[in-house]
Amino acid sequence: MAEDRTPFIRLAKRAEMDRRKVWAIRVGSIIVALLLGCIPMMLTGNDPFAAYGVIIQGSLSRPIYFRQTVKIAVPLLCCALAIAPCFKMRFWNIGAEGQITMGAMAATYFALFWADRIPHLPLLVIMFAVGALAGGIWALIPAFFKARWNTNETLFTLMMNYIAIGIVAWLQGGPWEGRKGSQLIPMFSDNARLPQVLGVHCGWIIALILVLLMYVYMNKTKQGYEIAVIGDSVNTARYAGMNVGWIIMRTMFISGAISGIVGFMIVSGANFTLYKGVANGVGFTSISIAWLSQLNSFAMIVISMMLAVLEKGANTLQTKMQVPASISDIITGILLFAMLSSEFFISYRIIFRHKDKEEDA
């Protein structure tokens, strides 16, 4: 590249873009991703359009399929809501996986050992509360070290995931093991299970309430404002007299608590037992959901449903067309890549060299 000439391609930040255009780019990126997703299907000798048909059919065509899809989407949505305030603060919490696991563990303790002594509703309330508490405390540990010694939170929260999973693995094969040698924790009694509303466990109601609460919290409260200021500039926040360390810890506690609730919903509403893979990647996938929604609570509903459709549909695809179900991970990955890339075209303008000359003239 010649140094003294204007480069062939230049970039300039866009001021503001037409809303319709922004959405056109986003929807366009999704379409591009779905087209790219055809490649692995064609390579394995399947008709991609038929395959997408099966995915849609297998996830949405019947009420029972739809319910199962919603069941997949609920934890994704809640967990994305949990991550949003941290990311707004530019605190890279990638420990939701572990926070879910700890919440699930705490809830399971009461489901296993107190189910016969406490009536249904109070038991569920207790499980909800201890789930939130355990997730919150688990998140508080890295937050404390970040606030006190500026310890790298990305790596810290990542490690905490595997510690949490390891603890559950130990419980599973040790103290909480059901039948000796089974390596399984017994199933919950009906008393400790979430009731169903419209055929799906009532977690979806909690999720929708959380969407509203999180929207209000982030946009209409003083705490939400503090989070936004820290995200933009820690120094500004300090000059304004905010106690940054305290806000970091408070926000992480809230975030961890919501993840903990997700853990409670998964064990009490879907699995009815605890095992080490209880979070099943939800904590990681939801990070992408939160980011792609631009941390907007309502957009998260759409994106988490989209990924849930892919996951549910891919299972049908495997049984019907012998395409490995991991195709859903591939398409999810491509989708994330495409949507991440599309943000670039929304915030930057690409200027080619010949255009410059016209401008000069």
Partner 1 sequence: MTTLITLIVAAVTFGTVLMYGTLGEILTEKSGNLNLGVEGIMYMGGAFGLAGAFYYEKAAAAAASGPVAIVLAILSAFAAGAAASAIYSFITVTLRANQNVTGLALSIFGTGIGQFVGEYMRVSEGGYVALGNNLKEAFSASIFPDAIVSIPVIGRVLFSHTVFFYLALLIAVLMYLFLKKTRYGLYLTAVGESPATSDAAGINITRYKYLATVIGGGISAIGGMVYIMTTAGCVWNHEGLSGVGWLAVALVIFCIWRPLNAIWGSVLFGAMMIMYLRVRIPFIPTELYKILPYVVTVIVLILTSMRNSRDKQPPASLGINYFREDR
The contact set with partner 1 (CB under 8 A) reads 11, 13, 40, 44, 92, 94, 145, 149-152, 154-156, 158-163, 166-167, 169-170, 172-174, 281, 284-285, 287-288, 291-292, 322, 324, 326-334, 336-337, 340-341, 343-344, 348
Residue 211: alpha-carbon gap to chain centroid = 13
Label residues 276-296 b or e (16+ Cβ within 10 Å = b): bebbbebbebbbbbbbbbebb
Of 40 and 263, CB closest to partner 1: 40
Angstrom distance (rounded) from CA 48 to CA 263: 35
CB of residue 155 vs partner 1: minimum separation in angstroms? 5
Q: Output 13 or 222, the one with its CB closest to partner 1.
A: 13
CB 284 within 8 A of CB 291: no
CB of 174 to partner 1, least distance (A): 5
Query: Would you say 126 and 284 are in contact if contact means Cβ atoms under 8 Å apart?
Result: no
CA distances from 79 to 85, 87, 100, 355 (A): 11, 12, 8, 45
- Is residue 283 a contact partner of residue 96, using CB atoms and an 8 Å limit? yes
Which one-letter amino acid corresponds to residue 153?
E
Q: Which amino acid is at 110?
A: F
Compare residues 55 and 206 and give the one whose CB is closer to partner 1. 55
C-beta of 165: minimal distance to partner 1 in Å?
Answer: 8
Minimum separation from the CB atom of position 167 to partner 1 (A): 7
Phi first, then psi, for residue 306 (nearest 5°) are -60, -45
CB-nearer residue toward partner 1: 158 or 301: 158
Closest separation between CB of residue 138 and partner 1, Å? 12
Question: 3-state DSSP call for residue 272?
Answer: coil
Query: Which class for 228: exposed (0-12), middle (13-18), buried (19 or more C-beta within 10 A)?
Result: middle
The phi, psi pair for 238, rounded to 5°, reads: -65, -45
In the complex, minimum distance from the CB of residue 116 to partner 1, in angstroms, rounded to a whole number: 27
180-195 burial code (b ≥16 CB/10 A, e <16): eeeeebeebeebbbbe
Please, which residue, 111 or 323, has the CB nearer to partner 1? 323
Residue 269 DSSP one-character state: I
Least spacing, CB of residue 233 vs partner 1, in Å: 13
Terminal alpha carbon distance of the chain: 24
| Cβ distance to partner 1 smaller for residue 9 or 361 | 9
Q: Say which residues have a Cβ less than 8 Å from residue 123's Cβ, sequence separation at least 6.
A: 110, 111, 114, 115, 191, 192
DSSP track, 181-213? TS--PPPPPGGGSPPEETTEETHHHHHHHHHHH
CB of 44 to partner 1, least distance (A): 6
Of 215 and 337, nearer to partner 1 (C-beta) is: 337
Residue with Cβ nearer partner 1 (17 or 202): 17
Of 68 and 288, nearer to partner 1 (C-beta) is: 288
| Rounded-to-integer distance, Cα 309 and Cα 327, Å | 13
Rounded to a whole number of angstroms, the minimum distance from the CB of residue 14 to partner 1 is 12
